[in-house]
């Protein structure tokens, strides 16, 4: 969208869909009959790559939406899988077979407190959300699964969505200066792993500091952090 559009609860949203691509609704939008309606106030956003629409706001609690990537922490285990905290009102369910190559005899063994990168598979108001670490169509993990070592921290939901953009200035500025890995969840949790604790802390601080900075300011901020730590 070229222009910023603010919506209020109850507004009817024109998604300008051509009827061929599958329309995906994110947080803040629901479908009533043939209309798309806003359930919360904020700025309307759309992704041309995935044809997903959502309402961005300063909401503190994450509301699960199908297809979104999340970073979660295992908080319990039951006979069919795990309970995972993804920051929503209810824990998500992670089935034992929702991993690449998982079978009834060969299942992952996640410890309580383990971090996972997953995709929301089921999300509706009538049941707890369900997540998966595999693409159900290809059987491949596609980057999802248990996150080993590293550090998980929280950020605002708005910053998390901006970090997922291919043009994220802070991640590009960091990538030009040092090697690191990151997994960003739209639930406001980010996993980071760098070559040392000092570099990991630098990446975390840079991401947190970038929330209200433009591209030029992000580059300058990253340079100052690097100079301060002499990395």
Residue range 100-119: average pLDDT?
92
Round to the nearest angstrom and report the end-to-end CA distance of the chain: 39
pLDDT at 4 over 80: no
pLDDT at 33: 82
Do residues 25 and 31 make contact, with C-beta atoms less than 8 angstroms apart?
yes
The 10s digit of each residue's pLDDT in 154-209 is 999 889 988 998 889 999 999 999 999 999 999 999 999 998 999 999 999 999 99
Q: In what order do the strands lie in the sheet with 52-56?
A: 6-7, 42-47, 52-56, 24-25
pLDDT at 17: 60
The 10s digit of each residue's pLDDT in 52-74 is 788 877 677 888 888 899 999 99
Which of these, 129, 133, 131, 39, lies nearest to 90 by C-alpha position?
Answer: 129
């Amino acid at each position: 969208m070229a222009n910023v559009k603010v919506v209020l609860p109850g507004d009817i949203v024109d998604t300008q869909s051509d009827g061929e691509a599958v329309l995906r609704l994110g947080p803040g939008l629901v479908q009533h009959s043939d209309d798309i309606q806003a359930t919360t106030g904020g700025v309307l956003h759309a992704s041309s790559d995935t044809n997903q629409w959502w309402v961005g706001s300063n909401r503190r609690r994450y509301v699960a939406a199908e297809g979104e990537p999340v970073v979660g922490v295992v908080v319990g285990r039951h006979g069919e899988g795990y309970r995972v905290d993804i920051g929503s009102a209810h824990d998500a369910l992670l089935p034992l077979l929702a991993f690449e190559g998982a079978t009834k005899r060969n299942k992952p063994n996640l410890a309580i407190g383990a971090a996972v990168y997953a995709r929301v598979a089921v999300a509706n108001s009538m049941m707890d959300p369900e997540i998966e670490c595999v693409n159900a169509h290809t059987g491949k993990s596609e980057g999802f699964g248990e996150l080993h070592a590293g550090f998980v921290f929280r950020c605002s939901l708005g910053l998390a969505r901006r970090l997922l953009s291919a043009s994220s200035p802070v991640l590009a500025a960091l990538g030009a200066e040092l090697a690191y890995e990151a997994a960003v969840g739209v639930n406001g949790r980010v996993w980071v792993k760098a070559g040392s604790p000092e570099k990991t802390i630098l990446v975390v601080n840079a991401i947190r500091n970038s929330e209200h900075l433009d591209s030029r300011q992000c580059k300058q901020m990253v340079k100052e952090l690097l100079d301060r730590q002499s990395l």
